[in-house]
A and B are shown apart, each in its own frame.
Chain A
Amino acid sequence: MTSHLNRRSLLTRSAAAGLLSVPAVSALSGCASGGGDDNSVERGETSDDNPLGVDPDAELEVVIFDGGFGDQYALDAEAIYQESYGQVAHTKTTEIQTRLQPRFVQGEPPDVVNNSGADAMDIAALTRNDQVYDLNELLDAPSLDDPNVTVRDTLMPSTVEMGQFGSEEVWRLNYAYTVYGQWYSRTALERLEVEYPRTWDEMIAVCEAAKRQGMAGWTYAGVYPYYFNFTLYPFIGKIGGGDVLKAIDNLEPNAWRHDAVRAAFEAYHELAARGYILQGSPGMTHEESQDEWNGYQALFLPNGSWVENESRRNTPDDFDMAVGPPTGLDSSDAMPFETLWTSASEPFFVPADAKNPIGGLEFLRVMLGRQSARNFTELVSSLTCVRGAADDLELPPGLASAKQAFEAAGENLLVPRLPDWYKQLNDEEVGGAVAAMMAGDIDPDEAINRCQRAADATASDDSVQKFQHV
């Protein structure tokens, strides 16, 4: 899921605020020394049923992020694991970092961590200190359902890639599968008697039609303006090709000054300049923008496929939610209209210092089995990274449309890495520049300059770890 400030983390942070306030320096100075005992579990005998060699008596400790997906799916997977192996100690929390950081510092982490939410740990920082177990061993193991197929071959595209940080090691497994795009209501489009826009001229026409009916074309989460990146990045990729996005991810000089970037920024700026953006969007949270969108105040919303579940309570019955690929510019686009940003999300990893890392791998192998994957989709209405697991399931309209869009895209998938490689650059700098442009404070040139300056600053900042596309 995405990271927002929920009520719980707010209270944690205000507690942290108390710590940080007067004796600000003392807050961070908890003793950084100390080490764990080395009482890890030995690898057991391997067999066809137990290809990784899990010690059948060893305990397994699993920590699940208790966010939008809850933890029932994990409990169900743990039950399957326990049929063959040792007891599972299950913890759910919304405060992954707050709870687990001290244990990592002590060298006594749990065996599986669902590292998600606003309080997730910086996995890049963990890999820098060799604190994460390489999952390649799991990926090369036979899959749960068919011993002739490796786990790797059961995964959706980009799943392995999303676990890599510039090298062959796979540090994490992103279990859910997200489709990003322009989310809309089929009912709203039908009422306006318009088709989903495929080119920017059509987009302008649709927005104009909406404006005549007193409806805005777009709304977005101005407080978290990086939501705009969900459609902006694939839009850029579509106009100029995937290499433009790769150059941006690699922090190459002048990557942001590419014509495709300028075209995309100018197109979005046009929305604001023509008054197609819902008034007040620059100051809205994601929930406020979703509520306005659900209330037919605006047509399009840049978002990811979790939005259906998240906005479930406010979605009218006749809404008929759907997602489309980002509208292209025109016929000169480098990639077809169906081009889509899809990516595996909801990360799981196995700490290197875990007592029972092999058990951790096996648990993930169980989760990647069809039974667990289908269970996940049914419970939380999200796709998983397991190929074809949701094929004959009945899906809610938004999710069904996301699946269709994914299938229509074929090979034309884009996976921008800026959001997870350089979170600060993506969320704060690019997000801030886009926010200022959409609020009408700066023009596209200035927004692009700000992005480029921020990218250059990140590139020359030694304290930020750098990654390259493999």
Chain B
Amino acid sequence: MEDTTQRAGKDVTGSGGRGSEDRLTPGMRLRLAVAFVLPPRFTPDSVRYDRRYRKLDQYRFIVWFLAAPLLVYGIFVVSPFVQAFFYSMTDWTGYSSSYRFTGFENYERMWNDDKFWDATRNSLLLLVVAPVVTLALGLFFSYMLTAGGRRRSEAVAGVTGSGLYKIVYFFPQVLSLAIIAVIWARIYSPRSGALNAGLDAVGLGSWQREDWLGSSWAIWCVLIVLCWSFVGFYVVLFSAAMSSIPNEIYEAARLDGAGRSLTFFRITFPLTWETVRTGWVYMGIQALDAFALVNVMVPEHGMDVLPSYLFSKAFRDGQAGYATTIGVALFLITLVFAAVMMRIGRRDRIEM
């Protein structure tokens, strides 16, 4: 880009003919348009020496470079979304190429579908609780790992053994969600599972349950697994954000006599807020999904979240049209969530 603009600039000054034509004649307009879609070497001289050429060259560069990715994005992301809105108004089974257009029938059905609302309630609960718990734990751990220690020699240090903890916290992230779900399903298993055995061992035998995953406890069981599996990722993410905070700020706080919690709330948290907010959106989307966990761990007659309900409608009941309607609802929820998250708590970036 530099190359072409420089050359263009030179040419413009070299010709000395700038400002020769201030009004845009139809002919010039056409030539500008042609120059816009053609590679620079085919730019007519009359355009090249026009004073508007610099702007044109800039935009031409941007548009040409973005065209390919935008095209791919349009075909593989935007167009399926648009198609989904269409299929959500059909009675498509998902098995054949024939379907009937049914207008808003699916949406009406969804509005009156108790199971859909149950699934929505579960999804929203996860959406609200999972990020709060996961991010709070992530912040706490990463703070302790980067600035929680108290040593004479250094102003800022992690607790003893923080290097090891960092690796250990990251372990769950290495496993695929499906494997995590299988392992945790074993933990919740009533006779051989670690949970019931553990409760018994600590004298809480009366808290044991025969069906953790089939009962109303299921949502909390899933929540715990969700938080467990993602907390390590946020520890690493927040640790990185925290290590970019200059030590002098901590030292100053220490000199003023601030303790751990005061330092955290006055210094660390405000300075990592941008990262926390991004993490929040990401974790919220993970929580809205939760599909692998629910599908593997929770029995069919147990609770549903939106994606698992969608899946069973599409692939068990042969109602791909209705499932797409649920997908549209999930899409809207995701969209609203992301918009809300990006709006609230927007503050000026603190320069360091």
Contacts and interface: CB of A to CB of B under 8 A. Distances in A.
B93 A128 contact: yes
Contacts of B191: 279-280, 283-284, 288, 292
A126 interface: yes
A410 interface: no
B299 to A, nearest CB: 4
A104 interface: yes
Contacts of A124: 318
A28 B327 contact: yes
Contacts of B77: 23, 26
Interface stretch (A10-18, A182-190, A262-270, A312-320): A10-18
B138 interface: no
Interface residue SS majority, chain B:
helix
Interface stretch (A80-88, A164-172, A337-345, A423-431): A423-431
A29 interface: yes
B318 to A, nearest CB: 3
**Of A20, A30, A281, A284, which is in contact with the most chain B CB atoms at under 10 Å from its CB?**
A20
Contacts of A23: 77, 80-81, 331
Contacts of B331: 23-25
Given A22-B334, A28-B327, A223-B213, A283 B316 contact: no
Interface stretch (B11-19, B146-154, B288-296): B288-296
B311 interface: yes
A360 B149 CA distance: 73
Nearest to A98: B315
Interface in B62-106: 77, 80-81, 83-88, 91-99
A125 interface: yes
Given A28-B87, A427-B301, A129 B178 contact: no
A432 B177 contact: no
A32 B253 CA distance: 63
Contact of B192 (A13, A288, A439): A288
Interface stretch (B127-135, B182-190, B227-235, B339-347): B182-190
A225 interface: yes
B94 A28 contact: yes
Contacts of A11: 178
Nearest to A423: B316
Contacts of A17: 177, 289, 291-292, 295, 307
Nearest to B293: A17
B211 A282 contact: yes
B137 interface: no
B158 interface: no
B314 interface: yes
A53 B97 CA distance: 30
B214 interface: yes
A407 B318 CA distance: 38
Nearest to A427: B300
Contacts of B300: 224, 427-428, 431
B92 A32 contact: yes
A332 interface: no
Contacts of B318: 122, 124-125
B95 A222 contact: no
B210 A29 contact: no
A435 B95 contact: no
A380 interface: no
B251 interface: no
Contacts of A126: 95-96
**Of A32, A224, A439, which is in contact with the most chain B CB atoms at under 10 Å from its CB?**
A32
Contacts of B87: 28-29, 32
Contact of A129 (B95, B316, B324): B95
A388 interface: no
B123 to A, nearest CB: 11
A408 to B, nearest CB: 34
B320 A223 contact: no
Interface residue SS majority, chain A:
helix
B295 A13 contact: yes
B124 interface: no
Contact of B95 (A25, A125, A432): A125
Contacts of A279: 190-191, 210
Contact of B285 (A22, A122, A428): A22
Contacts of A452: none
Contacts of B330: 24-25
Given A29-B324, A427-B301, A20 B289 contact: yes
B126 to A, nearest CB: 13
Contact of B190 (A32, A34, A280): A280
Nearest to B86: A29
Given A23-B77, A104-B96, A282 B214 contact: yes
A253 B310 CA distance: 29
A284 B324 contact: no
B213 A283 contact: yes
A148 interface: no
A220 to B, nearest CB: 12
A266 B180 CA distance: 39
A28 B314 contact: yes
Nearest to B99: A32
Interface of A: 5, 10-11, 13-14, 16-17, 20-35, 97, 101, 104-107, 121-122, 124-126, 128-129, 131, 222-225, 279-284, 288, 292, 423-424, 427-429, 431-432, 435, 439, 441, 463-464
Given A104-B96, A222-B211, A423-B317, 16 more contacts: A10-B182, A13-B311, A14-B291, A14-B296, A17-B295, A17-B307, A20-B291, A25-B88, A25-B328, A25-B331, A29-B87, A34-B97, A280-B190, A283-B191, A283-B211, A439-B214
19 contacts: A10-B178, A13-B292, A13-B295, A13-B311, A17-B295, A20-B311, A26-B80, A26-B327, A28-B310, A97-B315, A122-B316, A125-B94, A126-B95, A222-B299, A279-B191, A280-B190, A283-B209, A283-B214, A439-B210
Interface of B: 77, 80-81, 83-88, 91-99, 109, 176-178, 181-182, 188-192, 196, 209-215, 285, 288-289, 291-292, 295-296, 299-302, 306-307, 310-312, 314-320, 322-324, 327-328, 330-331, 334
In order of increasing CB-CB distance, the 6 nearest A-B pairs are A125-B318, A432-B301, A280-B190, A25-B84, A26-B80, A283-B190
